[in-house]
């Protein structure tokens, strides 16, 4: 839903899509940035947690899990010229457009929903925004459920890496 002058939104949206159509390299650069947040598991499948500060030993669910799924849906939607402004709706539309990747997009949408549930429950439990999850406060089943959300992140990032040839983009 857009509030305000809808024609401004429409003109801006059209301008963005026309610019992308003329400059496909933009999607490669955007894809490279999308890969800045890899799946949040270390070598031995342990959670990557904050090392210092007030959130030390907590997991940043927003930056390390939710944002990569949002970014992936956004870049793939731009690639297909989709005018959808909701992450789950984007994945649903991508399932239609790319039936060969339906399982990937469905797993991303499901992971996104689960991650939002985790963030909401953490926020309610801690009376905050739920951005940081104290891994030690989760039971084993919840830790496993949370870890299961990371495979779709890895898979969709690999797809972006290949599709947009991000390895060919120079370091900025």
Position 135 in a domain: yes
**Contact yes or no for 155/107 (Cβ under 8 A):** yes
Is residue 53 predicted with pLDDT exceeding 90? no
Which segment of 11-15, 58-62, 151-155 scores lowest on mean pLDDT?
11-15
Residue whose C-alpha is closest to residue 110's, from 78, 141, 156: 156
pTM of the model: 0.87
Cα separation, 68 vs 107, whole angstroms: 14
- Over residues 101-128, the pLDDT tens digits come to 999 999 999 999 999 999 999 999 889 9
Position 5 in a domain: no
- Over residues 130-148, the pLDDT tens digits come to 999 988 888 999 999 999 9
| Domain that residue 32 falls in | 24-168
Position 134 in a domain: yes
Cα separation, 29 vs 43, whole angstroms: 27
Position 129 in a domain: yes
Position 15 in a domain: no
Position 38 in a domain: yes
What is the domain count for the chain? 1
């Amino acid at each position: 839903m857009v509030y305000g002058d809808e024609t401004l939104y429409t003109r801006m949206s059209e301008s963005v899509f026309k610019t992308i159509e003329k400059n496909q390299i933009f999607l490669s650069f955007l894809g490279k940035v999308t890969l800045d947040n890899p799946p949040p598991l270390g070598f031995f499948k342990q959670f990557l947690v904050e090392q210092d500060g007030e959130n030390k030993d907590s997991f940043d669910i927003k930056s390390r899990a939710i944002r990569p799924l949002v970014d992936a849906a956004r870049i793939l939607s731009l690639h297909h010229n989709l005018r959808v402004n909701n992450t789950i709706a984007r994945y649903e539309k991508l399932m239609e457009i790319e039936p060969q990747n339906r399982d990937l997009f469905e797993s991303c949408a499901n992971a996104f929903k689960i991650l939002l549930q985790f963030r909401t429950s953490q926020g309610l439990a801690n009376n905050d925004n739920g951005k940081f999850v104290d891994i030690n406060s989760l039971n084993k089943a919840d830790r496993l459920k949370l870890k299961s959300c990371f495979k779709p992140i890895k898979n969709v990032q690999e797809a972006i890496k290949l599709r947009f040839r991000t390895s060919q983009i120079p370091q900025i």
